[in-house]
Structure 1
């Protein structure tokens, strides 16, 4: 029998990717949080030996394919952002959930800045401040995603 707990990280990342690409109205799409970044951030802080920069890179490649961006753009941005978290996971674990939300906001801003600069080098995109709304929505969602994934991790006894 297949044990779900062995595939929980992959399943949560797949769900995050579905949320990342699900069609929503244009007015709502402007505020779409970085689902994959949030879920990866949780797993990197909770289980750094199972979720790491390599998982971020492959998730970024999947995002590049799903979103139709140039290959490697999301991979690079996710890898750098997750590396920052992975390098400091022991310190970040000791922060309260609200302080972690601020850190997630900073990491999300780094992620969007890297995406912008990479796309600027490859194509002719222009910067708009509206593209930073996902930073705030990611910060706002962090406590609920954190508590949900922690509950899943504890119920399934994932170590």
Structure 2
């Protein structure tokens, strides 16, 4: 309870949109068959669903899921369904998660990301009948470990003062 609480500026909608676009661009990079590369779109969507649930919600998650489905050439609606569920559950717990420190927030985000991947895995197994292995879930672990870094980067523009003054601590 002794840690400082920052008064954040309102989130700029252009910054929110830019961060989602950058996450999409990171997702479409040719990572190859690298194990443990996180789903950046899912990470940014869960971040904004927790921090700005009125601006980033299920509709944007569904749209980003469709874009990822088209890019991955996967079953249409696979990512859309999983991102929608991810956003829904992130919005459900957003008030609770914001009370915790960053590493505890990451522990709350991990089950959400694992649920998203489990939904994708079930859909892929129903369609193809092949189990890709348990290493698939390493993506969620890496994404939850990146949560403090993502939080610091995406909240940085909101922490700065509108007009800087040496006598004001905010």
How high is the TM-score relative to the length of structure 2? 0.83
Is 1:152–2:170 an aligned residue pair?
no
Separation in 2 of the partners of 1:156 and 1:123? 52
Query: Runs ≥4 in structure 1, deviation > 4 angstroms?
Result: none
Gaps of 5+ in 1: none
Structure (1 or 2) with the greater helix fraction: 1
Which of 96, 112, 117 is the matching residue for 1:112? 117
Counterparts in 2 of 1:1-159, with a 5 A limit?
5-26=12-33, 29-155=34-160
* Unpaired segments ≥5 residues, structure 2: 1-11, 163-170
When Rg is computed on C-alpha atoms for both structures, the one with the higher figure is 2
Deviation string 1:53-80 (CA, Å, 9 cap, x unpaired) is 1111111011101111111000001111
- How far apart, CA to CA, are the structure 1 residues paired with 2:83 and 2:158? 23
Q: Residues 88-131 of structure 1: CA distance to partner in whole angstroms, max 9, x if unpaired?
A: 11111111110111112111110110000111222223140111
Structure 2 SS opposite 1:111: helix
| Structure 1 length-normalised TM | 0.88
Distance in 2, matches of 1:46 and 1:133, equals 25
Shift of 1:156: 9.4
Q: Secondary structure at the match of 2:146?
A: helix
